[in-house]
Amino acid sequence: MADSILSLADVTLTLAGNAGPVEILHGITLDVHRGETLGLVGPSGSGKSSLLMLMGGLERATSGRVTALGHDLTAMNEDQLARFRRQHMGVVFQSFHLIPTMTALENVATPLELAGHRDAFDRAAEELRAVGLGPRMDHYPSQMSGGEQQRVALARAAAPRPHVLLADEPTGNLDGANGAAIMDLLFGLRDRHGATLVLVTHAPDLAARCDRVVRLADGRIASDELRRAAE
Amino acid sequence: MTLAVAARIARRELRGGLRGFYVFLACLALGVAAIAAVGSVRQSIEGGLKREGAVLLGGDAEMSLTYRYAEPDERAWMEDVATRVSEIVDFRSMVVVERDGVTERGLTQVKGVDGAYPLYGTVELDPPMPLDTALAGDGAVMERVLADRLGLRPGDRFRLGTADYTLSAVLLREPDGAGDGFGLGPRLILRTAALEGSGLLAPGTLYETKYRLALPVGSDMAALETRADARFADKGMRWRDARNGAPGMTRFVDRMGSFLVLVGLAGLAVGGVGVSAAVRAYLDGKTEVIAILKTLGAEGRTILLAYLMQIGTLAGLGIVLGLALGALAPMVAAPFIQAQLPVPVQVSLHPGPLAEAALYGVLTALLFTLWPLARTEEVRAAALFRDASGQVRAWPRPVYMGVTVALAAALIWIAAWFSGVPQLALWAAFGIVAALGLLALAAVGLRRLARRLARARAVRGRTALRLALGAVGGPGGETVSVVLSLGLGLSILAAIGQIDANLRSAIQQELPERAPSYFVVDIQPDQLDGFLARLTGDPGVSKVETAPMLRGVITRINDRPAKEVAGDHWVIRGDRGVTYAATPPEGTIVNAGAWWPADYDGPPVMSFADEEAGEIGLKLGDAVTVNILGRDITATVTSFREVDFSTAGIGFVVTMNPAALMGAPHTHIATVYAEPEAEAAILRDLAEAYPNITAIRVRDAVDRVAEVLSSLAAAIAYGASATLVTGVIVLIGAAAAGERTRVFESAVLKTVGAVRGQVLAYFALRSAMLGAAAGTVAIVAGGVAGWAVMEFVMMGGYEFEPVSALAIVLGGAAATLLAGLAFAWRPLAARPARVLRARE
Ligand SMILES: Nc1ncnc2c1ncn2[C@@H]1O[C@H](COP(=O)(O)OP(=O)(O)OP(=O)(O)O)[C@@H](O)[C@H]1O
Ligand SMILES: [Mg+2]
C-alpha cells in the first residue's frame, strides 16, 4: 500500500542484559500508513514498548532502518531527532514520565513552547480541559492520581498536534468513563487532524477500534490483521 | 528481632560496595584528618615547650629590670634563693663594618652575658666550639643573617659603639632564643665585661637586665613569685619562671592551634554538608526500595535502623581513614615543622588529639546524616504508585529535631571545651548556625520568587529560563538543600579567604603615608643639639621629631597596686615609655583637663593617653605612680590627650612636666622623615658622629613584623587548603547527587522535542540561580565572619577583600556548574529510551 508514514525495515534491537546481550526484537519489518490507527498487542515482555521507542527515535536500532515521514531516523543525531519529534511526533509513556518539578500546565506547555508557539500556555490549558483536568492545572505530578498523570501525559503528547502519536497503554490506568474520554480524544485527533496513531494496548475495546492490529510474540510479528474501522 | 532484620537489610545494602559513597568518605576523612593533624602538631609543640620550659627561659626563674642593674641587696636576695645566678643585659645597637672605605651597618639585638650563661642548654656555634672560647677577650658571636648581610666571617673584626670586636663564630641556636621574645634585629652575644669602653649602656640608654636563677629542685615557684613580687614589684622588677618559659611562644602556639582547630571544624562542617547531601542522594535513590519494604511489612523503625547501620559502618570507615591520615601527616611533615620552630618538637602519636578528632567525626556524621535518615521513616508505601518525589515532608518528626539539637549542642560544647578558646568556638558555632539560617531564608525566598516568576508572562516562550525557574520554584528539596550546602561551603571558604587575604595585605601593607624613615634611640642629651643641627639643614629631611625618653612601670594608681585597678591591661603589664614636655608637642589634642603652664614648677603632674585612660578607668585628679630606675614618682593626672599609636610616629602613654623627670638619667628618641635617596647619607653621618645611637629603619622593622605574620598566614593557608579541598569535593558531590534527576529530565525533554543546547541552557540557568543565591549569602556571611575574626581574634584591622570573595564565590559556582554539566553530558548524548526504560 502506498503512503507509508512510518516504516521499519528488518529492524533488530539488542540490549546488554546482565547475562550478556539479549536480542529483544528480531528482524521487524512493518509499514504504518498515514491516518491509520495501529494497535500493538502481545504478551508482556514481547517487545511492544521497545518497538514503540524505536518508532519514536527514542531507541537506536541495532540493525535495520526506521523511516518516518520520509526521514531516516537511524541516521539522525540526538538534536535532529528532538527537532523531528517536536514537529511530528507525540509520545505517551507507559509510566507517563512527567517532570516532577513542573505543574500539569507547565508539563503540557513545554513541547508547545519548544515548538515555538506563542500561545503555548493557553493551548496547554485548553488541552488539559479537554482531558477533564481543568481544575488540576496547577497541581504537581506528585499531587495527582495515576490516571490523572496519564491524562496529563496524553495531553502533553497531543497538544502540538503531531502527525504521529505513539502511546504506550494510554488507557491502562483509567476507569471506564475516563478511558472512553481518552479514546475519544485519541480518535478525535485522528479524525480532525489526520494524525496517525500507534497504540500499545491490552484493552480489547481499544484494540477493537483500531484499523489494524499487529500482534507481537517474542520479539517477532506473529500476526498483522486489517480490520474494518469501527462504523 | 527488629535489630536482626535491620542488620540483614543493612548487610545486603552494603553489598553494593562504596559506589556513591566516595564523596561521603572523602568529606568525613578529610575533616577528621585535618583536626587530628592540627591537634597532634599542637600537642607536640606544647609538649616541647613544657619539657624545655627552663631551657627556653634560660633558668628556672627570671627577674628582669629595665634601664638598670640589680642593686646589691636585690642581688643578694637572688643569690640567697638560687643555687646559681646569671646576669644578662639586652639592648639594641648597630654593628658597623668598615671594608675598603665602605661602611656597612646592621641593626642587632645585643645580649651581654656573664660566665654562668647559659644556665641550661647549650649554645650551638659554627664552627663548633665552646661558648667560653668564642667569647674570650673581645670575641662575639652573631646570627648568620647578620653576618651574611655585613659580609663577616669568623675571624673578621667589627665595631659596636666605639669598641672593636672579633666575630669568632656564627650563632646557630641559643637555647633561650624562644623565651626572649620578639627582637627587631638578629641576635649578637658577647661578654658584658667586653662592653666596657664601647660607649654603649651609658646612663639613660634603653637596656634591660635579666637575672636567671637556677633554683633548688622542688622549689615552690608560686611561693617564690609571691615573695619576689612583694619585695620588688614596686621597684619595676618583673618575674617569670619555667612554668611558662616562653610565654610569647606559648601564646602564639595556643592561638594558632585553636584557630587552626576552628578552621578544621569549619572544614568538618563543610564536609558535613557533603556527607548530608551524599546520604540524602543515596536514600532518595532508595525511596522505591523503602516503599517496597514497607509494602512487604517492614516498620519504619526497622528501615531506619537498617540504613543507620549501613551509614554508620561507612562513617566508621571514613573516620578511621581520617585518623590514619591525620596521625601520619604530621610525622611526614615533622622535619619541616621542626625547621620552622625554635623549640625541640617531638612529633609522635598523641592519642588525645586523635580521640578528639574521632569524637568530632562521630558527632558530625550523626548530626548531618540524622535528617536524611529520619526521612526514611516518612516514606510511605504509596510512593510506589505516584511519583516519589515531593511525597516526603520537609521536617522530620520532632524527636529527631530534638536529637539534632542535642547533637549540635554537644558538638559545640565539646569544641568549646577542647579548643581552650570557648568564646571563639561559641562564636564560630553561632556564625555557622547564623549562616545556615540566612541560607535557609535565601533558599525559601528564592523558591517563592522563582515560582512567581515562572508564571509571569514575560518568561513564556523563553523555554530554558521558564524551565529553570520552574525547577527552582518547584517541589522537592533540591533548591533548599543545594543552597544550604553550596552556601555553607562557600561561606566558610569565603571567610577563610577574607582572613587569609587580610593577613596577607597586612603583611604587604604599605607604610603609612607619612611614616618616618628612621626611628632613632639612645641619643644622649648632650648629643641632641648636634643631632638636630645635622638634620635640619638637610634638604632631604622633611621633618624631625624628638622627645626625651625614659622607661617606667606604672605600679600604683591612687596608692593601690595598679594590677588591682586596671587588671591585665597592656599599659601596666610591662615597662612603658615615659616622656616630659613643658608645652604640648605640636599637634597635641587635649580632650579633657588642661596642660600645665610652660613654667610650671609644682609637684609632678601628668597627661595620659585618652583612650587607654578610659580603658583602665582613670579620672582627672587621680594619682599615678610610675617607677623609673627604681624610684617612685607619683603624679596627678591633669589632662587626657589624643595619642595615635598606628602611624609609627612618636607616641607616649604618659607625659609629665619636665621638672618631675629631668633629674633622672635619660636619653632622647627621634623620628626622622626623609626622602628615600637621602636616607643612606643621614645614617652614615649620624652613626659616625654618634656611635652610641641606634637607628632603626622603619621599613626593616615592618619587614621583620611581616616575617612573623607570614608564618601565621602560611599556617592558615595550609588549614584553608584542607577546607578548600573538602569544599571542592562537596561541590562535585552536590553536582553528582543531582545527576539522576538531570538524566531523567533531559530524556523527557528530548522526547518532547528539546535539543541538547536547550537542555544544557536550562541546567546552566538553574545552577546559576542556585549559585547566585548561595554566593550572595556567602559573600555577606564570609565578610562578617572575616571581619569578626580579624577584629576580635587577630586584633587587626579588617577590610573587605572583594577580589578574594568574588574569586571564591565565582570559582565555587563555576566549579559546581562545570561539574554539573560534566555529569549531564553523558546522559544528554544517550537515547532517551535507555534512560527512561530504567525508570519504568
Ligand atoms: N535494559 C534491558 N536489558 C535487557 N533486556 C531488557 C531491557 N529492558 C527490557 N528488556 C527486555 O526486553 C523485553 C521487551 O521489553 P518491553 O518493555 O518492550 O516489553 P513489553 O512488550 O512492552 O511488555 P509489557 O506489556 O509488560 O509492557 C522484555 O523481555 C524485557 O525483559
Ligand atoms: Mg511495555
C-alpha cell at B658: 619636665
In a domain, A71, yes or no: no
* pLDDT reported for residue A230: 43
C-alpha distances in Å from residue B692, one per residue of A93, B160, B185: 96, 8, 16
Q: Which amino acid is at B840?
A: E
In chain A, what residues touch B745 (CB-CB under 8 Å)?
99
* pLDDT reported for residue B708: 65
**Model confidence at A122: pLDDT above 60:** yes
- Candidates B653, B637, B636, B641; CA nearest to B552 is B653
Whether residue B763 contacts residue B470, with contact meaning beta carbons closer than 8 Å, is answered with no
> How is the beta sheet containing A89-92 ordered, strand by strand?
A89-92, A164-168, A196-200, A37-41, A212-217, A220-226
pLDDT tens-digit map of B474-509: 776 677 777 877 788 788 888 878 887 887 776 666
pLDDT tens-digit map of B260-269: 777 777 778 8
Residue B740: partners with Cβ closer than 8 Å, 6 or more residues away: B281, B284, B285
Å from B829 to nearest chain A CA? 7
Q: What 8-state DSSP symbol labels residue B123? A: -
Residue of A nearest to B451 (CA): A102
Q: Determine whether the interchain pair A58/B833 forms a contact, defined as Cβ–Cβ distance below 8 Å.
A: yes
Radius of gyration, CA atoms only, chain A = 17
What's the whole-number mean pLDDT along residues A55-74?
91
Nearest CB to A82: which of B391, B478, B754?
B754
A3 touches chain B (CB under 8 A): no
State the closest ligand 1 atom to the C-alpha of B837, by its place in the atom list counted from 1.
Answer: 8
What's the whole-number mean pLDDT along residues B371-390?
65
Whether residue B789 contacts residue B499, with contact meaning beta carbons closer than 8 Å, is answered with yes
- Please state whether beta strands A212-217 and A220-226 pair in parallel, antiparallel, or not at all (unpaired): antiparallel
What's the whole-number mean pLDDT along residues B301-317?
89
Q: What 8-state DSSP symbol labels residue B104? A: E
CA atoms of B486 and B766, how far apart (whole Å)? 14
CA atoms of B159 and A116, how far apart (whole Å)? 90
CA atoms of B676 and B684, how far apart (whole Å)? 14
Higher-scoring residue by pLDDT: A24, B824? A24
Helix H or strand E segment including A33: strand A20-33
* pLDDT reported for residue A198: 94
A147: pLDDT confidence band, cut at 50, 70 and 90?
Answer: confident
pLDDT tens-digit map of B514-527: 677 888 888 888 88
> What are B640's strand-pairing partners?
B592, B608
Contacts 24+ apart (CB under 8 A), A127-130: A127/A155, A127/A158, A127/A159, A128/A104, A128/A152, A128/A155, A130/A155, A130/A185
In a domain, A201, yes or no: yes
Q: Determine whether the interchain pair A156/B752 forms a contact, defined as Cβ–Cβ distance below 8 Å.
A: yes
CA atoms of B333 and B329, how far apart (whole Å)? 6
Whether residue A171 contacts residue A5, with contact meaning beta carbons closer than 8 Å, is answered with no
Taking chain B, what is the end-to-end CA distance rounded to the nearest angstrom? 34
**Any ligand 1 atom below 6 A from CB of A222:** no
State the closest ligand 1 atom to the C-alpha of A42, by its place in the atom list counted from 1.
Answer: 21
CA atoms of A82 and A111, how far apart (whole Å)? 11
Residue B748: partners with Cβ closer than 8 Å, 6 or more residues away: A97, A98, A99, B832, B836
Whether residue A112 contacts residue A123, with contact meaning beta carbons closer than 8 Å, is answered with yes
What's the whole-number mean pLDDT along residues B114-120?
89
State the closest ligand 1 atom to the C-alpha of A51, by its place in the atom list counted from 1.
Answer: 18
* pLDDT reported for residue A30: 94
pLDDT tens-digit map of B28-87: 898 888 888 888 888 888 887 777 778 878 888 888 887 788 889 889 999 988 899 999
State the closest ligand 1 atom to the C-alpha of A216, by its place in the atom list counted from 1.
Answer: 21
Q: b vs e for A121-156, b when ≥16 Cβ sit within 10 Å of the residue's Cβ?
A: bebbbebbebbbbeebbebbbbbbeebbbbbbbbbb
pLDDT tens-digit map of B751-769: 888 888 888 888 888 888 8
Cα A95 to chain center, whole Å?
A: 12
Chain B residues touching chain A at CB-CB below 8 Å: 385-391, 454, 460-461, 463, 466-467, 470-471, 474-476, 478, 744-745, 747-758, 828-829, 831-834, 836-837, 839-840
> What are B556's strand-pairing partners?
B561, B625
This model of the complex carries an ipTM of 0.85
> How is the beta sheet containing A71-72 ordered, strand by strand?
A20-33, A4-17, A63-68, A71-72
Helix H or strand E segment including B103: strand B102-113
pLDDT tens-digit map of B657-706: 988 888 888 888 888 888 878 887 888 888 788 888 888 877 777 776 66
**Any ligand 1 atom below 6 A from CB of A47:** yes
**B751 Cα: distance to centroid of ligand 2 (angstroms):** 17
Average per-residue pLDDT for chain B: 82
**A42 Cα: distance to centroid of ligand 1 (angstroms):** 12
CA atoms of B282 and B21, how far apart (whole Å)? 8
CA atoms of B34 and A65, how far apart (whole Å)? 59
**Model confidence at B179: pLDDT above 70:** no
A42: pLDDT confidence band, cut at 50, 70 and 90?
Answer: very high
In chain B, what residues touch A56 (CB-CB under 8 Å)?
751
**Any ligand 1 atom below 6 A from CB of A201:** no
Higher-scoring residue by pLDDT: A28, B436? A28
Interaxial angle between packed helices B422-455 and B247-285, expressed in degrees from 0 to 180 and rounded to the nearest 10: 30
Least confident segment among A156-165, A214-223, B778-787? B778-787
Which residues between 52 and 71 in chain A have a beta carbon less than 8 angstroms from any beta carbon of chain B?
A: 53, 56, 58-60
**B90 Cα: distance to centroid of ligand 2 (angstroms):** 93
In a domain, A102, yes or no: yes
* pLDDT reported for residue B796: 67
In a domain, A28, yes or no: no
* pLDDT reported for residue A17: 73
Average per-residue pLDDT for chain A: 87
Whether residue B369 contacts residue B315, with contact meaning beta carbons closer than 8 Å, is answered with yes
* pLDDT reported for residue B390: 44
CA atoms of B698 and B74, how far apart (whole Å)? 37
CA atoms of B693 and B545, how far apart (whole Å)? 16
Q: b vs e for B346-355, b when ≥16 Cβ sit within 10 Å of the residue's Cβ?
A: ebeebeebbe
In a domain, A192, yes or no: yes
**A13 Cα: distance to centroid of ligand 1 (angstroms):** 11
Residue of B nearest to A14 (CA): B834
Q: Determine whether the interchain pair B839/A101 forms a contact, defined as Cβ–Cβ distance below 8 Å.
A: no
State the closest ligand 1 atom to the C-alpha of B838, by its place in the atom list counted from 1.
Answer: 1
Q: Determine whether the interchain pair B390/A82 forms a contact, defined as Cβ–Cβ distance below 8 Å.
A: no
Residue of B nearest to A154 (CA): B752
B388: pLDDT confidence band, cut at 50, 70 and 90?
Answer: very low
Mutate to test the pocket of ligand 1, among A12, A41, A48 (most ligand atoms within 8 A of CB): A48
Å from A165 to nearest chain B CA? 12
Residue of A nearest to B388 (CA): A142
CA atoms of A34 and A4, how far apart (whole Å)? 6
**Any ligand 1 atom below 6 A from CB of A40:** no
Q: Which amino acid is at B745?
A: E
Residue of B nearest to A74 (CA): B831
CA atoms of A142 and A136, how far apart (whole Å)? 12
Å from B733 to nearest chain A CA? 21
Taking chain A, what is the end-to-end CA distance rounded to the nearest angstrom? 22
Q: Determine whether the interchain pair A141/B387 forms a contact, defined as Cβ–Cβ distance below 8 Å.
A: yes
A47 touches chain B (CB under 8 A): no
C-alpha cell at B103: 661602611
pLDDT tens-digit map of B144-178: 888 888 889 999 999 988 899 999 999 988 888 76
Q: Determine whether the interchain pair A97/B836 forms a contact, defined as Cβ–Cβ distance below 8 Å.
A: yes
Nearest CB to A85: which of B389, B466, B753?
B753
**Model confidence at B347: pLDDT above 50:** yes
Which residues between 142 and 181 in chain A have a beta carbon less than 8 angstroms from any beta carbon of chain B?
A: 142-146, 149, 156-157, 160
**Any ligand 1 atom below 6 A from CB of A107:** no
- Candidates A130, A128, A111; CA nearest to A185 is A130
CB burial of residue B586 (10 Å; 0-12, 13-18, 19+)? exposed
Least confident segment among B487-496, B702-711, B723-732? B702-711
C-alpha distances in Å from residue A144, one per residue of A171, B380, B389, B405: 16, 16, 12, 36
**Model confidence at B204: pLDDT above 60:** yes
- Residue whose CA lies nearest to ligand 1 atom number 26: A44
> What are B85's strand-pairing partners?
B213
In chain B, what residues touch A144 (CB-CB under 8 Å)?
386
**Model confidence at B513: pLDDT above 60:** no
In a domain, A150, yes or no: yes
In chain A, what residues touch B471 (CB-CB under 8 Å)?
101-102
In a domain, A125, yes or no: yes
Q: Determine whether the interchain pair A91/B751 forms a contact, defined as Cβ–Cβ distance below 8 Å.
A: yes
CA atoms of B710 and B730, how far apart (whole Å)? 29
Å from B472 to nearest chain A CA? 8
Which residues between 190 and 229 in chain A have a beta carbon less than 8 angstroms from any beta carbon of chain B?
A: none
Q: What 8-state DSSP symbol labels residue B215? A: P
- Taken in order B248, B249, B253, B259, the sign of the CA dihedral is positive
Q: Determine whether the interchain pair A85/B840 forms a contact, defined as Cβ–Cβ distance below 8 Å.
A: no
In a domain, A69, yes or no: no
C-alpha cell at B105: 651597618
Higher-scoring residue by pLDDT: B451, B504? B451
Q: Give the range of the structural domain holding residue A90, as residue numbers without chain letter.
A: 35-49+76-226
Q: b vs e for B207-217, b when ≥16 Cβ sit within 10 Å of the residue's Cβ?
A: bbbbbbbbbee
CA atoms of B373 and B367, how far apart (whole Å)? 11
A91 touches chain B (CB under 8 A): yes
**Model confidence at A158: pLDDT above 60:** yes
C-alpha distances in Å from residue B483, one per residue of B18, B444, B494, B770: 26, 10, 15, 6
CA atoms of A121 and A129, how far apart (whole Å)? 12
Q: Determine whether the interchain pair B748/A81 forms a contact, defined as Cβ–Cβ distance below 8 Å.
A: no
**Domains: count for chain A:** 1
pLDDT tens-digit map of B265-308: 777 887 887 888 788 878 877 877 787 777 777 777 888 888 88
Query: Using alpha carbons only, what angle is made at residue B307 by residues B304 and B313, rounded to the nearest 5 degrees?
Result: 135
- Residue whose CA lies nearest to ligand 1 atom number 9: B837
Q: List alpha helices for B69-193, DSSP H.
A: 72-81, 131-135, 144-150
Residue A92: partners with Cβ closer than 8 Å, 6 or more residues away: A150, A153, A154, A156, A157, A165, A166, A167, A168, A170
Radius of gyration, CA atoms only, chain B = 34
Whether residue B369 contacts residue B318, with contact meaning beta carbons closer than 8 Å, is answered with no
- Please state whether beta strands B61-66 and B208-214 pair in parallel, antiparallel, or not at all (unpaired): antiparallel
Which CATH number belongs to the domain containing residue A82 in this structure?
3.40.50.300
Which single residue is written with the C-alpha cell 581513614?
B321
**Any ligand 1 atom below 6 A from CB of A45:** yes
**A172 Cα: distance to centroid of ligand 1 (angstroms):** 17
Higher-scoring residue by pLDDT: B823, B113? B113
Q: Determine whether the interchain pair B386/A142 forms a contact, defined as Cβ–Cβ distance below 8 Å.
A: yes
CB burial of residue B579 (10 Å; 0-12, 13-18, 19+)? buried
Helix H or strand E segment including A99: none
For B312-341, give the DSSP string: HHHHHHHHHHHHHHHHHHHHHHHHHHHHH-
